[in-house]
Structures are given as C-alpha cells and as structure tokens.
Amino acid sequence: MKQQWVGLLDCNNFFVSCERLFRPDLENKPVAVLSSNDGCIVARSQEIKDMEIPMGVPYFQVKDILKTNNAVVFSGNHRLYRTISKRVFATMETVQNPIEQYSVDEAFFYFFGTEEEARQQILMIKETVEKEVGVPVSVGISLSKTLAKVANEMNKKTTGLKLLDFEEWSQINLSYPLASIWGIGRNFSKRLREDGLISVSDFLAADPGRVRRLYGVVGERIRQELQGISVLSAKNRELKQSIMSSRSFGKETIALSVLEEAISYHVEQVSYDLRQAGACATKVAVFISPSRHGDFVLQSRYGERDFLAPISTTRDIGVIAIQLLRELYVTGVPYKKAGVRVSGIQPFAVQQLSLFTPVAKKIPDPLQSTIDVVNRRFKTGRIHQGFLEGARKYSAIANQQSPAYTTSWGELPVVKA
C-alpha cells in the first residue's frame, strides 16, 4: 500500500566529517571541533564521544584528556562546513526533490510510496550523498518529522538507515523517554515529568483535552506527531523574531574604540543574517556589560532604536548602532561583553512602510548585494564599510583552523602523486 512518508537526512558528526574529508589520515582518530573563540567543544568524532567528553564542554576542562589521547582539535572552519553542506543538499536533490533543509547538516523530505519503495529510497539517498560528497550520513524515515528524527537516531551507529513504521513505534514508545523527543526541551520535559508523564506512551494515553489545556497548541502538535500524524508542515517556515550576535572579550576593556569595533563586527553579522533570510528589521538594540563579578556589575547598559523604515543594510544599521553605543558608553567601566540585536523582522516582500517614510528604499540595496556577493566569495580582502573598519580586527580567535580548502585558491588541498 502506498502512503506518505516523512524522512530525515542527518550528517554524522558533521563538522568532524568535513575536516576528515580533507585529512583522510584522521579517519578513526579522535577529532574535535571548537566553537568560535575556541571556547567549547561543538563537534566530536565517535572516538571522542567514547571518551565520554560531553557536547558543549569548555575546551580548557578537557584539554589534557584530549592531549593524552592524541586527539586532533580544530577551530571551527564554518566557511568550509557551509560549502560542504551545500554540496550535501545539492547532491541529495539529484535523487530526492524537493527537500526541506532544516539545519546546516539536516534536511527533511516527503516520499510517497510503499514501504519497500521507501526503504530503497533512503538507501539511494545515503549511497548517493556518501559516494559523491564523501561525508557519512544517516537517513531515517517514518510517519512524521518527529518520528523521522527518532528513526534517524536509531541506527546511527550501525547501518545509518532506518524505516520506523507505526507497529514498531507502538512497541518502543512504551519506554521511550519524552525528554529525548525532538521539540521537547528541558523546561517542557520537566513540566511533563511533574505531571507524571515520563514516556511517550504516557503522553499518548493522556486525555487530549487535558493535553491541550496544559500544554497548548505546541503540546497538541507534538502529540499528533508522536501518533504518526504529520502536522509540522514544510511551508510555513516562520521568520525569526530577532537576530542577535554577541560575544565576550578575551580581556575587559574601557576603550570606546574597542567597543566600536565589537559593535561593528556584530552589526555585520546580524545584518548579513537578516539579508540571508530575505528580511529587513525595524529595530536595533545594542548592549554592553561589564563582568558579572566585581564592582561594576550594575553598569550593564541596553538601548534600542526604531528605524523610520525597515532596513537591512550594514551601513544603515551600523550608523544607528554606533550612535546608540556612544550614548550608552560610560567612561571607566571595564566592559566584558557587547552585542547587537535586530528585531521587528519582516520579509522584504511585505514591508510595512510608515506614513512618514521619506522615500521607499530600494530593497535589496544593490550596493549591499554586490558587497555580499564579493564577501561570500573571498575569505581574505573582504569589503567593509569604512566606519566598520574595526570589525576585521575583531573577528574571532581561531588558532587551530583548518585551511579554506573549498573557498580560497591559496589554500587548496595539496595532492601528492
């Protein structure tokens, strides 16, 4: 019998796999990737997981264990990961179209067919991506996104393929913890536990009216998904409410110029993300704060400003953010952290203009689009707004980054024959 299936492709240990793609000597060796500023572990090879080093742990805490075990540690090389990610999805689309990209290394898809056809399909997707791109992937398929996620996890360490049908799911959900279900975060699972709901089957057995009353639409949707009814749809992907970029300084600073550099850097980040999402914002916020320990703890400052019209260019957002910063800045305070947030986000297409909007701006701004294209292409010699000159100096600490194998002529991998 033909039916609708929902599948999920997930790259295994993605960042690590990207690094290994260009360093085959690292196969079967412990490899870890660090977050920006080399702060925490954000990707682990199986060997690292086997050492029981948890995800997200601060690097300095595990530095010694890693060294003793001859682990190879990389600073995140996100430009590399993004290009590999694009290859993965472009390749996947040659055998499965459309797909719905969910994150840098995951994509959902819908497949209509018999169980046998679904099994063949996930095998084909896995084989094609692994052969043509070279990173290992797992593909799970079931009746809803939430269950596809469950399926995907099931054989990750073995075949990397799993079809989870309703019958098998009804068996295993008796002991399947709600806390491990996609979309049930720590707070939600705590509430469920307090209400006596531990396993998926507890939740499915609960009175639907009660579920709705206690946990609202979100609870109801998760419940339907767990029943194998696909309700998390593909199309209405909502825009984020806000986009933020912030970071702590390596060392505290009292210098306005350093803060200006930091804010410029964050403006570049948020406005770029905004444009990538095909959106513009109506509000920008700037915040600066001293260390949470010490005499200046109450000197955190936050300021917000509305734009006359929705904007997305680095230049326009930057001018206002720097003005805000100068108003917030207090001489002599040792600042430890700074950040920028844009909100009131709306798509380019349905901009609401205010009555007082001077002239409707051409969006996307042609100059800005050109700058974005150039900056996407070249890692070095990027174009910056004049007043954002400092941003370059402020970019992340990344002491152990692998070369830009895929994006810079100067750093192509060398092949010896």
Binding site for Mg ion (CB under 5 A): 10-11, 14, 105
Closest residue by Cα to residue 226 from 211, 239, 213, 240: 211
Residue 15 or 296 having the CB closest to Mg ion: 15
Could you tell me the smallest distance in angstroms from the CB atom of residue 148 to Mg ion?
Answer: 14
Return the number of the residue (157 or 191) whose C-beta is nearest Mg ion.
Answer: 157
Pairing of strands 301-311, 99-103: unpaired
CB 155 → Mg ion: shortest distance, Å? Answer: 14
Give CA–CA dist 257/390, Å, rounded: 8
The distance of closest approach from Cβ of residue 59 to Mg ion in the complex, given in angstroms and rounded to an integer, is 20
Residues 6+ apart with CB under 8 A from 387: 264, 318, 319, 322
Which distant-in-sequence residues (6+ apart) come within 8 Å of 52 by Cβ?
A: none
**Residue type at 22?**
F
Least Cβ distance, residue 17 to Mg ion (angstroms): 9
Q: Which is nearer to Mg ion, 5 or 14 (CB)?
A: 14
Adjacency order of strands within the sheet including 31-34:
41-44, 31-34, 72-75
Long-range contacts formed by 189-195: CB under 8 A, 24+ apart: 191/215
Nearer residue to Mg ion within complex by CB, 10 or 19: 10
Smaller CB separation from Mg ion, 11 or 206: 11
Q: Rank residues 135 and 340 by Cβ distance to Mg ion and give the closer one.
A: 135
CB atoms within 10 A of CB 271: 28
Q: Per-residue DSSP letters for 251-308? A: EEE--HHHHHHHHHHHHHHHHHHHHHTTEEEEEEEEEEEE-SSSTTTT--EEEEEEEE
- Closest to Mg ion by CB, 100 or 165: 100
Question: C-beta of 10: minimal distance to Mg ion in Å?
Answer: 4
Q: Find the shortest distance in angstroms from Cβ 77 to Mg ion.
A: 17
Q: How far is the CB of 106 from Mg ion (least distance, A)?
A: 6
Q: What single DSSP character describes residue 377?
A: H
| DSSP designation for 247 | E
